[in-house]
Chain A
């Protein structure tokens, strides 16, 4: 299709250009169009037998057809169709008709009649199927045409009684895609000679009982299709759908589950009777019970479907919901308590969990044999089954469903806790990870008991890093009930730290959150943890335990003031560790930011030195603001960088060199050239390092870049002799201006009184004038144009990266045999990076030695994880290699953000929308400018390649 489009585009393009010039090429074009159908006609006539014809058709199908010639081709095909006796050829023609009617720009309503008439004469079932399929395509192409729709529906109804299943399926599809509920549909029951008024749903639901399972499935799917198209499904079919849940065929059952679900969402509150009793329940409860039943179906596809569906039935009554976790245990006809119940009882009785008594799970009371319901009606134990399922797909679906249901019902969350904790022990890592995530999501509703916490904490020893980190994340959000729990968690986390030192950051963060969540529980533990018993009041506590400190400090922030503690303030000067919590309100800061920017807009009215000072101060203010107010850091940085560009530009323009004669200023312009280059660099940073930019800001940035380019051009003109290079760069510049205009057409009104606006006014003159003149114009425009005011978007974030590992603190060099490869573990967090898989790269460069090599490595996509919104985690290995050195030396590792200007043009939304229609007027896209921006602090790693032993 893309190729086809492109072809069309070029064709039109060439047409536009060539017609005014001469007649001949246009004629050629016109000739080529009918030639296609003509060629087909000739081919088909030549075909002596059906295989040949089929071959021709197959070849023909590979080539695209223009919209104008489609109809001609269709006529030829139909003509051949009537003559053809071979089924396969007719089939192919029928399928081609469908393909052709999809051609863009071709309205297929003109061939509806033909297709329908062929349909009526067709005997072969397979061809019928294909023809109906073609009609389906036509019908979906013409959604607005009620006449065609009505006709197609009639055709479908007529053929519904075909003996071949495929025909019936297609008819049902047609009805599903085109049928309307409001328009009643007349169908003749020939047998009785009576006619009854029935609507599409009635007709479709008749086929719920078809003898062929495929037709049954298609009927349900058609009904679902009706629902998707916004028709209201009648409640009458609920019973039928429920009966289909026990169909022999899995695809029917699977579709029926969907159908029942749809109905339960449509009529949750209506009342249905329970068979074999006088009671009545809500429909949503009834269907919930029925779908729960499907969780123990024989086919795992159905089980997955059912488990997933359960998660979205939020209106179900709590009573039913809680049944899903219920499984009455029984041993030798005696009621037995589940392990969960026992654990809870032990806990509530205050006894320390022994769990080691033989037969402490001994059955207690005798069960009334009549009361035991082995096939639990309704929802009983659905999730118990789902979570124990053989297939991990089912288990994951069940875990996800639990999550959804628990989020909407706190009491259910409390109940499913035990089950989720059990899933931490699943054999498949994916399931374990998923259940940890789920527990985190519902953790606001729940408080962990000590025994539950114990089980959760056991997972901290897992060797998989993902699992451990997910668990840390979970602990950050967990509520626990007692101080023993806190202590337990602390001990386990420290143990975890011992075993896996790489988890340091994550563990610290976890401790911090844990502390700040439970200030009151931490309080009684403080003396013990800090060993500040008055008895051993040592002059200076040990500071070597940063983890503990971290945790305490954060808890401390939330403590109520208490007399027995040394005052809040002097807690061992740990403020510096923290990034500085709340100081001053965000609104105030925001106001300040706005004011600064407004102030800058007056800069044009000021004299040169005053203006520069104002900019200088504002930049300083903004930078400080960014440090103080992390929420606004992105915006502040962005504005500061923008202003710096302006400042540089201003400085460059106020150099003395402009007043000098050209030959004299050769040496003087070094600063101006440097400034121009720096502005260019900064604009790339502005464009690609910040996320949340709108096209308005992008336009502003490009504007600055254009100014810098103009400056460069002027400078080259002033320094270099000879016109040849100048002509090239002038043209380049004009192209840049043009592409700017194209990209930011919608933004141009906002750029009033700016450099670009003036340029565009002068454009007709510019494109025709000589380079020298152009330079002169540019120079004056540059100096006249003022500062474009920056308007900040709602949210703006600077992409940052922090390398956690390697830390760069180690004095031990990384030894390896020279010439071979050493793997350096790299662990970094990336914030606000869009699409890190493609943009983030690792740079490794040598420092000390003169060869100063530098490599850029692209990490694998699988190395990126996404722990939270706007946050990515890069865990990868960097392979280093080198020839021998005499002594250890440092290499520098840092992260780069790669960009290319071609991606910029497609990323700005305005151009993307207009891409397809503007292609014709576009010159080939300019060569993309690619580059990288370092966006992390570099880390130095000591390495020592040793000579290989021979």
Chain B
């Protein structure tokens, strides 16, 4: 039986450095090539030596597919392609292709320029790597080679995020990347058609969570910001540059517009400017509202949101500032936080998760006195809010996707093992399909039962249809006669005559003959006539002929009569039929063996 093998190099029972190898129908595909945020050593990249110890990866991989531009999904790409060596095609969607190099460059700058690491990929390498990228459009089927085809579906999550359907022959795999089943202010919901893949590889970040409706959270967020502004306070929102930041911007921008508010909103500059530019361009990837209104006004051309300057932080009066980074561990957001922390009118809203040890994590846990460098302490008087705006599918969303795609097997990645365990149980219970959750480096083998396509000649099909009634009845299977020809990787079902002709063979006739002894006192010709009338009365609807050369033909079955030499009353009947008429022939022989009924004249 054919098999599909899936091996996570990263993101197996883990979050970070997504990298999954899939072998399907003799093709090897790498899905995502990310880095791990938590490590600074070799562990931050996937272990490519799993694929090959030395030499380049090109000959082992048929293609690489990147689902979206987050670094834990594409961070290791230049390392893999340029430093390890891979020259094959890399597929990603247009927005991902546009934004990905910006993030990679930023990442490189921080690691090399700030942390002083050596032996890291260079700007040139990023450029070279991006040259190998082939962009994908949504719902466009791309033929990687003769057999392998891939197709991208919308995944929500971030701009340009895609799910990929990979298909070789009749075997297929869907890889979701990160996705979101609930729409938000700037992106739509993930969608996939009923493609019934053999394996659905899904992320499971929120495997054990069912989220509240977004509206409550949005309303809370807006209310808090609004109240603070009305009080004359300042609001700090630490964000990471891409993704949620844009959603919050849109949210505040429209709110400002609706409520006619005048207080300024600032966005600390940086790579956001560039990224925003791409958000403006890729309108087709956003949600319904933005797509519909962009003719009048592009929602990403903010009216109320302006670029931030360091000096603005000291301006009097209310304001809202988005600043990077998101966990208040360094940079501009921390500087602003220090300035504003002392005033209880102000507020900081943490829109995402904070890693332990960061200031964000401390203040969220209620710490009101912070130790800063130089043994100074900082009194935190401002209000601290937490608002989770996450763009991953929750447990219900994952189930919804399974219902949409109807896979035969399920494979979970990108989540914590314990949580996966729960979801696995649920999936197996509710959908009655196998669910796998391999750890990094473990190979999961799934045997498939692919359907084998066979070409059937139209004539044969028509003939069979004409024979057995007009329409195929799904309840009753029907047999048909034909010859299967396997030739050069193709299967054809043709009629026997044609098969003989093609193979250059002669047809062999197979005939059965049978003798039946019959006690009948009449003369030969009378007996034959009696047989004729007998058969005529039994077999209605068949053509029965009495031929002049003293034979009876039932369809193509020949019945001959000869009386035996010793006893004129014992007649010997010779039956002869071809293989095709076996049924009728054996019926006749048993019928005649019983003898003729006496009532016949």
> Inside 8 A of B532's CB, which chain A residues have their CB?
none
- Pick the residue among A381, A458, A462, A463 that contacts B223 (CB under 8 A): A458
Known contacts A163-B465, A392-B288; is-contact A374 B426 (Cβ 8 Å): yes
Taking the complex as formed, is A914 at the interface, i.e. its CB lies under 8 A from any CB of chain B?
no
> Inside 8 A of B211's CB, which chain A residues have their CB?
329
- Pick the residue among A163, A390, A463 that contacts B287 (CB under 8 A): A390
B385, closest chain A residue (CB): A356
Shortest CB–CB separation between residue A139 and chain B, in angstroms? 24
> Inside 8 A of A327's CB, which chain B residues have their CB?
210, 212-213, 396
Known contacts A298-B194, A358-B366; is-contact A390 B188 (Cβ 8 Å): yes
A-B interface pairs (CB < 8 A), number: 126
Question: Which listed segment binds B: A334-342, A530-538, A692-700, A801-809?
Answer: A334-342
Mask, A303-336, CB within 8 Å of B = 1, is 0000000000000000000000001111111001
Q: Let me know if B208 and A333 touch, CB within 8 A.
A: yes
Taking the complex as formed, is B487 at the interface, i.e. its CB lies under 8 A from any CB of chain A?
no
Top 5 closest pairs, chain A to chain B, by CB: A161-B470, A339-B216, A390-B183, A422-B215, A330-B210
Mask, B180-212, CB within 8 Å of A = 1, is 001101001101111000000000000011111
B260, closest chain A residue (CB): A463
Taking the complex as formed, is A375 at the interface, i.e. its CB lies under 8 A from any CB of chain B?
yes
Taking the complex as formed, is B384 at the interface, i.e. its CB lies under 8 A from any CB of chain A?
yes
Residues of A within 8 A of B (CB): 161-163, 190-191, 209, 211, 248, 296, 298, 327-333, 336, 338-340, 355-356, 358-359, 361, 369, 372, 374-375, 381, 384, 387-392, 419, 422-423, 425-428, 455, 458, 461-464, 499
Q: Let me know if B384 and A339 touch, CB within 8 A.
A: no
Q: Let me know if B214 and A427 touch, CB within 8 A.
A: no
Bound state CA distance, A361 and B188, in angstroms?
26
Q: Let me know if A461 and B260 touch, CB within 8 A.
A: yes
Within 8 A of A (CB), among B385-399: 385-386, 395-396, 399
Q: Let me know if B430 and A369 touch, CB within 8 A.
A: no
Q: Let me know if A458 and B288 touch, CB within 8 A.
A: no
Mask, B420-449, CB within 8 Å of A = 1, is 001001100010000000000000000000
- Pick the residue among B210, B215, B219, B425 that contacts A328 (CB under 8 A): B210
Residue with the greatest number of chain A CB neighbours at <10 A, chosen from B188, B216, B220, B400: B216
Bound state CA distance, A390 and B404, in angstroms?
16
> Inside 8 A of A248's CB, which chain B residues have their CB?
194
Bound state CA distance, A438 and B465, in angstroms?
57
Mask, B269-298, CB within 8 Å of A = 1, is 000000000000000000111000000000
Taking the complex as formed, is B315 at the interface, i.e. its CB lies under 8 A from any CB of chain A?
no
> Could you tell me how many residues of chain B have their Cβ less than 8 Å away from some Cβ of chain A?
59
Bound state CA distance, A463 and B220, in angstroms?
20
Bound state CA distance, A358 and B368, in angstroms?
13
- Pick the residue among B189, B257, B395, B470 that contacts A390 (CB under 8 A): B189
> Inside 8 A of A381's CB, which chain B residues have their CB?
396
Taking the complex as formed, is B259 at the interface, i.e. its CB lies under 8 A from any CB of chain A?
yes
A333, closest chain B residue (CB): B208
Q: Let me know if A374 and B254 touch, CB within 8 A.
A: no
> Inside 8 A of B224's CB, which chain A residues have their CB?
355-356
> Inside 8 A of A391's CB, which chain B residues have their CB?
288
> Inside 8 A of A389's CB, which chain B residues have their CB?
183, 189
> Inside 8 A of A422's CB, which chain B residues have their CB?
213, 215-216, 219
A357, closest chain B residue (CB): B366
B186, closest chain A residue (CB): A427
Taking the complex as formed, is B105 at the interface, i.e. its CB lies under 8 A from any CB of chain A?
no
Shortest CB–CB separation between residue B355 and chain A, in angstroms? 16
> Inside 8 A of A190's CB, which chain B residues have their CB?
469
Report 30 cross-chain contacts, Cβ distance below 8 Å, ordered by A residue.
Answer: A298-B191, A298-B192, A327-B212, A327-B213, A330-B209, A331-B210, A338-B216, A356-B224, A358-B364, A358-B384, A358-B385, A359-B364, A369-B422, A372-B426, A374-B210, A375-B396, A375-B403, A381-B396, A384-B213, A387-B213, A388-B215, A422-B216, A425-B219, A426-B215, A428-B289, A455-B223, A461-B260, A463-B257, A463-B258, A464-B258
> Inside 8 A of B426's CB, which chain A residues have their CB?
372, 374
| Supplied contacts A332-B208, A425-B215, 18 more A-B pairs, CB within 8 Å | A161-B471, A163-B470, A191-B468, A327-B213, A332-B209, A333-B419, A339-B217, A340-B216, A359-B364, A361-B212, A374-B399, A387-B213, A422-B216, A423-B215, A425-B219, A426-B215, A462-B258, A463-B258
Residues of B within 8 A of A (CB): 182-183, 185, 188-189, 191-194, 208-220, 222-224, 226, 254, 257-260, 287-289, 364-366, 383-386, 395-396, 399-400, 403-404, 419, 422, 425-426, 430, 465, 468-472, 474
B398, closest chain A residue (CB): A374
Q: Let me know if B472 and A211 touch, CB within 8 A.
A: yes
Shortest CB–CB separation between residue A232 and chain B, in angstroms? 27
> Inside 8 A of B385's CB, which chain A residues have their CB?
356, 358
Known contacts A191-B469, A390-B183; is-contact A458 B226 (Cβ 8 Å): yes
Known contacts A359-B386, A462-B259, A499-B260; is-contact A330 B208 (Cβ 8 Å): yes
Shortest CB–CB separation between residue A296 and chain B, in angstroms? 6
Q: Let me know if A333 and B403 touch, CB within 8 A.
A: no
Bound state CA distance, A161 and B191, in angstroms?
37
Residue with the greatest number of chain B CB neighbours at <10 A, chosen from A328, A332, A425, A455: A425
> Inside 8 A of B383's CB, which chain A residues have their CB?
356
> Inside 8 A of B386's CB, which chain A residues have their CB?
358-359
B364, closest chain A residue (CB): A358
Q: Let me know if A463 and B259 touch, CB within 8 A.
A: yes
Q: Let me know if A388 and B214 touch, CB within 8 A.
A: yes
Q: Let me know if A339 and B258 touch, CB within 8 A.
A: no
Shortest CB–CB separation between residue B291 and chain A, in angstroms? 11
> Inside 8 A of B188's CB, which chain A residues have their CB?
390
- Pick the residue among A191, A336, A455 that contacts B212 (CB under 8 A): A336
